[in-house]
Amino acid sequence: MNLEILSLAQVGLAPGGFSMTYIVIIGVSMLASFLISGTLKRRFNEYSQIPIRMTGAQIAEAMLRQHGINDVQVICTPGHLTDHYDPTKKTVNLSESVYSVNSVAAAAVAAHECGHAVQHQQAYHWLGLRSKLVPAVEFSSKMLNWLMIIGILGIGVAHSPMMLWAWVVLFGVTTVFSVVTLPVEFDASRRALAWMESSGVAASMEHDKAKNALFWAAMTYFAAAVGSIAQLAYFLMMALGGRRNEN
């Protein structure tokens, strides 16, 4: 759930300086991210107090086994909410607050990560596309950071049409990645909830709480995607000459 590759440029600095429009975009994006993140943490803490009969690791192993997946290992990884599925190593990595904990929150997170393993097994096209985009996103993020550093040193990106268009293209790659991530995450949650209901792991009330926890987790990706789209639109308007209309 924590696979978000972002550049420093995506969290605050625009090429060529700030404008009121950009400040509003960043402010709204940061506020939405803060509120959603806070709600997610509160829901996770609340639902971590509701026990069920299986730990996160047991949930993951059972879901994988029932889907006929025998080549994926469930392991414990350090940190809090650092859970993720690694398709290259074929591991479901569960954080310490999920792996050995028997709660609704732990079950929801573990099942969600196994949802990604099921996507991998079934060659879910959006997951395949996201995996293919990773190298391009890593490159784009590094280049955006270099362009930002160049701007800080006084070489304004906005004063060079070629560099500004390079910024737009690179930022566009990271934005596409954020958008492609949405169906991947929502589908993994859908698979997790469907399995939890069909397997009888959680009662109806617990199922609703797991659904709520996964909803707020997915909303973090939604907020990131919307913020990235808004910033890309701003940069594109700059490249097309829209910035002159503000001056």
- Active-site annotation, residues: 113
5-31 core/surface letters (b: 16 or more CB in 10 A; e: else): eebebbeebbbbeeeebbeebbeebee
CA 155, CA 189: separation in Å to the nearest integer? 45
**Token pair of 7, please?**
């550049």
- Beta-carbon contacts of 28 under 8 Å, excluding residues fewer than 6 positions away, are 227, 230
Burial class (CB in 10 A: 0-12, 13-18, 19+), 65: exposed
- Beta-carbon contacts of 48 under 8 Å, excluding residues fewer than 6 positions away, are 97, 101, 103, 104, 105, 106
Tell me which residue has tokens 């060079």: 160
* Nearest alpha carbon to residue 201 among 103, 98, 122: 103
| Cα→Cα distances 198→32, 155, 191, 203, Å | 34, 59, 11, 11
Tell me which residue has tokens 């004063």: 159
Beta strands in 90-206 (DSSP E): 91-95
